[in-house]
Structure 1
Amino acid sequence: MTISIFQYPKCSTCKKAQKWLDDHNITYESIHIVEETPTKEQLQAIYETSRLPLKKFFNTSGMKYKELGLKDKLQDMTEEEQLELLASDGMLIKRPLVTDGKKVTLGFKESDFLESWK
């Protein structure tokens, strides 16, 4: 299955992840996370595949996250509400979000990429 990388072009972490994939001759589909924000259904599937806590999908260092005061609000939101919120704005999603439908990585950590994508 094709690897999809949901990224934001100005994001330095996304650039590092794409460079790593390029350097390892790994083909991928690059998806602009703001212009083509994953749907709630896509996010639900990626979340379930990842086996990670849903809160890991939030870009906690982003301005939008801070503006909305999500640090204090997430614990009171249902999973459904959190997925809807993530699907409403690509800037809320931790990036890059990389998946092939069987595996998922969030952010860029070389050791995770070696384990998942090499």
Structure 2
Amino acid sequence: MITIYTTPSCTSSRKAKAWLREHNIEFVERNMLTHRPTISEIKAMVGKTEDGVDEIISTRSQIFKKLGLDLETLSIQKLFTFISENPCFLRSPIIIDEKRLLAGFSEIEIRRFIPRQARKFYLQQAQLSVN
């Protein structure tokens, strides 16, 4: 099952949810502001990244700029605690399944992210519409 971590004001979150609905892909939504990710959820997210914490942190967020955080000086535990307490520090949306994570919204990337069976179905549909 796909879980999508969102923030209400995020345009990319709305686009990702609309794309998933349009393609009839079931997902569970987690509003990060009302249901903050736990430290264990954040650890699980990082475990599914290729680039570690850098992949899920929004360095363009206002809180990041305001606090002037130096990620290199924080211990990983303090960083996870900070993220859990300040979820607006995370990129949005964050889409995860059992094995993978996609941070942000890109139609090209989300097509690669969806389950293999769904990709095969959409490929077949595209081929039928061409013929």
Question: TM-score, normalization: structure 1?
Answer: 0.90
Gaps of 5+ in 1: none
Q: Residue 72 of structure 2 aligns to a residue in which SS?
A: helix
| CA–CA separation in structure 2 for the residues paired with 1:114 and 1:82 | 31
Return structure 1 stretches of 4+ with deviation > 4 angstroms: none
| CA–CA separation in structure 1 for the residues paired with 2:34 and 2:66 | 21
Superposed CA offset, 1:1-57 (max 9, x none)? x21111011110111111111111111111111111111111101211223221221
| CA–CA separation in structure 1 for the residues paired with 2:27 and 2:44 | 19
Computing the radius of gyration over CA atoms, which structure comes out larger, 1 or 2? 2
Q: Is the 8 A contact 1:99 1:105 kept in 2?
A: yes
Q: Residue 102 of structure 2 aligns to a residue in which SS?
A: strand
Aligned length: 115
Gaps of 5+ in 2: 120-131
- Aligned-pair identity (%): 23
Q: Residue 71 of structure 2 aligns to a residue in which SS?
A: helix
Q: Which amino acid is 1:107 matched to?
A: G
Q: Is the 8 A contact 1:54 1:79 kept in 2?
A: no
Correspondence 1:89 to 2:86: yes
